[in-house]
Structure 1
Amino acid sequence: MGETVRWLTPEEQRAWRGFVRLHERLGGRLGRRLQSESKVSPADFAVLVHLTDTPEGRQRYQDLARALEWEKSRMSHHIARMAGRGLVAREECAEDARGAFVVITDAGRAAIEAAAPRHVEAVRELFVDHVTPAELRVLAEVSERIIAKLDEDTG
């Protein structure tokens, strides 16, 4: 435990704290708008986005939990709530009796199709419209590099 702590420099601290504040405020505002305008929570939206990004609209529980960085219990409880509202269904895995799939329903597709245009407009209004194309490219590159490193470290 005798390691030397590599404290953040003032510039690093400014960047880190700015990023954290941006993430918190942007996430909060987008989440409130999503909930009030579309009656879909940010967590519901995240699940529905991941499911619509797959060709069959279904994903194994553990793969979805990993993609969302959710604990198993959170995933199980949230999917049960979404299933109760008819947004998703649980489907047993024929190849693996222990596994199960989360499957988007027609109601889930309708919910995300209704929410997505409003959400993208909010993203544009609160974020995209305030950065230049060059800044967007840099942000995308930095984000992709950090995400790749995080994925590598969990593999």
Structure 2
Amino acid sequence: MLRYLPFLLILALWIYAFIDCLNTPESQVRGLPKVVWVIIILLFGEVLLGPIAWLVAGKQRQPARGGGSTPSEWHRRHSSAKWVAPDDNPEFLRSLKDENKKDEALLKDWEADLRRREEELRRKEGEAPNGPEDTPPPAKG
């Protein structure tokens, strides 16, 4: 099992670098165009040169705390995002209400169609010429 560990670590680093390169916006890629970095990672992945080169020189890394600022400053700078949780988003809640109305209307249509079909079946059973009620008693012989 341990003899496979180096191979698995190389493979994991190779896959991580490849996916990281694909997901990185073009504006954050340094040195070479993004397509060239992908080719370098793929060609030199087995010897770790491509993935390590990407991780060291290919992508702009941002500091962990935004340049040494305090956590409250970082939160203030990043809390201006427009993302809102679905249960607080009025547009999402409105879309749920609209969907609910459509579903209720569809359900009413289905129920009305079911009632109509049941009535048709009852009428057909009642009008059957050779139904059990219309059968004359057997003749005695």
Q: Which has the higher strand share?
A: 1
Highest RCO, 1 vs 2 (Cα 8 Å, sep ≥ 6): 1
Task: Flag whether TM exceeds 0.5 (same fold).
Answer: no
TM-score w.r.t. the length of structure 1 is: 0.23
TM-score w.r.t. the length of structure 2 is: 0.25
Structure showing greater Rg: 2
